[in-house]
Amino acid sequence: MLVRLKIFRYDPEKDEKPYYQAYEVEADSMDRLLDCLNRIRWEQDPTFSFRMSCGHGVCGSDGMRINGICGLACQQLVRGFKGEVLIEPLPVFRVIKDLVVDLDPFFEKYSSIRPYLITKSSPPDTERRQSPEQHSQFEEALRCILCACCTASCPVNQNQETKDYVGPAALVRAFRYLFDSRDEGEEERINLLDQKQMVWGCQTLWKCTEVCPKEIPITNQIGQIKRRIYEKKHGR
């Protein structure tokens, strides 16, 4: 089948402003959009820039906006599209070149939630143990591959006035540690998350949950963080 794509292009070093370029790629119906992008780069236009690595929904590097919805190019079969496919960089982030965006602010926010186990007790002789039930509390959050699709789709992050909101991806990771039975930093985590630009920045708009390629119940998990904070602060 012939796949027609309209792709956002911008090289700040030589383009005055962004523009869209049309391409046509001959593809098998079981090819993914990522295969088409690779073919464009290899066979038609070596100046076209985008990120990819694993090709199988694991590394999270090929997040982009596809027909207006953020997702992974490696997880979308071309046969699922009719007509021209519009490919754009993730919104919210500064464009470095074409589909490559500056994710430093994303990872800075991610780091700000202390994405590691906080422990205070002496290490046990063996590993810190956890039952399957305790593990299942946060297992879904472990699927996150930090693709940034959720944060890029969040209207709160898209709004210039509220762009300091830490964003859903960071909160998924905060949930992962707050609900881990081995973590001993609950008090610090609650105090950190109990802020306007942290968990209370979420307006429960569900856009993050709609786009997550790993089907993580993000809004639900953010809601659980809010509930935990409320219960701790009000002694319930």
Q: Name the residues that contact ligand SF4, by CB under 6 A.
A: 144-150, 168-169, 172, 212-214, 216, 218
Candidates 7, 64, 72, 174: give the one binding ligand FES (CB under 6 A): 72
27 vs 178, which CB is nearer to ligand SF4?
Answer: 178
- Under 8 Å between Cβ of 178 and 228: yes
- Under 8 Å between Cβ of 70 and 149: yes
Closest approach of ligand SF4 to the CB of residue 30, in Å? 24
d(CA 153, CA 168): 10
DSSP 143: G
Closest approach of ligand FES to the CB of residue 5, in Å? 17
Candidates 44, 53, 203, 204: give the one binding ligand FES (CB under 6 A): 53
In this chain, which stretch among 15-23, 49-57, 166-174, 201-209 interacts with ligand FES, using CB under 6 A?
49-57
Helices (H), strands (E): how many in the chain? 9, 7
d(CA 103, CA 94): 8
Residue 195 contact among ligand FES, ligand SF4, none, beta carbon within 5 to 8 Å by kind: none
What kind and span of H or E run contains 25?
strand 19-26
- Binding residues for ligand FES, how many (CB under 6 A)? 12
Candidates 18, 21, 55, 181: give the one binding ligand FES (CB under 6 A): 55
Going 61 to 64 to 66 to 69, the CA torsion angle's sign is: positive
Q: Could you tell me how far CA 172 lies from the centroid of its own chain?
A: 10
Candidates 18, 57, 91, 223: give the one binding ligand FES (CB under 6 A): 57
- Please give the residue ranges that form the binding site for ligand FES (CB under 6 A): 52-55, 57-62, 72, 74
